[in-house]
Amino acid sequence: MRHTYTRRRTETLDYMQSMLGQLRTMAEAERCDMLAYLIEMAYVEASDIIRGERPARVQDGRKGVA
């Protein structure tokens, strides 16, 4: 069961990363530098999560906030 969840999650993240790459290319083609930069940051974040270098959720110091 856990293996199925992990595989599905990885497939979803791979898909999201692919879409972000395409969106970044489109933003660059339209010379939307800030938008391209922000999309690139999301692309890198997805890559880090896939590789296990960053958690999917970032805990805030406040109680009940994730």
Q: What digits encode the pLDDT tens for the residues 11-47?
A: 999 999 999 999 999 999 999 999 999 999 999 999 9
pLDDT at residue 59, rounded to an integer: 73
Residue 39 has a CB neighbour count (10 Å cut-off) of 21
Compare 61 and 32 and report the one with higher pLDDT: 32
> Does 64 score more than 80 pLDDT?
no
pLDDT at residue 63, rounded to an integer: 58
Q: Whole-prediction pTM value?
A: 0.76
pLDDT at residue 62, rounded to an integer: 58
